[in-house]
Structure 1
């Protein structure tokens, strides 16, 4: 009792123990693990599966994983559900024949939908409310937005889905493309992405190219001593349309909105290269990555 807590409850404790295990593999787990580590705690991340940051591009995921290891946060793969009751004793959690010092387990797994306490018989799928391309449920006239439909756990995407439904009901026909909505993570440094991942483009058979620019070559990032990270643009090889963007920087969650605008407008890397950015700003890395895609970056 008291060993396992939810993320919303953990900071209610006056004191945190020395050894903390965070159970999960998404943004919440990573954010909490880094927060505890910065407090001087010994932290382990226990993955629910063997996939670290399952929604992220592998390049971004590997970068963050390397950063966590540098911060001395241990990452433990877990191939199956474990029983805390059967595998915990005297401050030690045993997983995959490994003994992990543990005085607190934070359950940071992705949230699941609550069961419907209603007489309305709405069809579910994998525990979430099943919806069609218009976010309509199995009952005509009833729509489900946000994490209850299982498509995304981000608040800004829930808001966009709500606006989509309102516009549709008012006769505005749009296409809801979740790949053009950004994802963000408040790690240290922050991480964000939008669009297709490299694995998705490969599976689709798309001819693409990659342009990358490091923050270590950006003047303002160097001045602010926040030069850890990169911007990476995936673009269609023939015409240069932007297909995906990944960013790691201290303000990646703000910068990704520029990428969102480019994707909504179906912009190309040529458009990005021609977009004049004020100097000195960290967002100049967009222009540099655009130049890198077209020919070569100026300051790389």
Structure 2
């Protein structure tokens, strides 16, 4: 392990010093719309002129490509196994963004061999020319999810007004408070599927107040996304709702989230090098 850690530190010295902004999107439970959020957030970023890469980091049930209606020829599995390079698996789309498809059925990044881990690091460095990388994680609190959250510049936690979703969101935040050492992590909450602005605000206040009181952790309320029938229509058509109907309530909500990320609480990205170092430091 010591030799592996030293190898990783040495590689970090040569990592590109870009200012890529890395945003991880996570949720305490499945079914809250996390992947839809990640995908449409990426597209909204692309619409303001950012070079965006959307990475599907769900190594169990990858489905970003399903939301986009794309069948990838290669994915992270081929990259990790050194069968393909990042440039060979990254895909252009018709939506103004690039995607890196997830490796369905793959176990854990933490279980990679030294050679696979080092290769993964080198290949991720190839994304350093992106302005924004949005990472869609699996639902829950696996070591993979925590690793991507800890390594990012910002982490967006997605919940809904449902009591179980709120409880699980708080559970995820609680684990972040105990396992993530970076107290400056930009932790933000988005309430999905709200029927009103008031409903979103009440849910957010409940989670944020409890996190502050019992965990001494600052969580910012980024905003809400309206309950909107266009979302289900988009899923069935395998087309992002921000594209299917850019003027829909859900699409305008996502655009507002990007506006807040960029203008209200702008955090300059630390770059790919910092991300890689953090991602693998815990398991090294």
Asked if these proteins are the same fold (TM beyond 0.5), I'd say no
The TM-score with structure 1 as length reference comes to 0.25
- Which of the two has higher C-alpha Rg? 1
More helix by share: 2
Relative to its length, the structure with more strand (as a share) is: 1
Q: RCO greater where, 1 or 2, for CA within 8 Å and sep 6 or more?
A: 2
Superposition TM-score, scaled by structure 2 size: 0.26
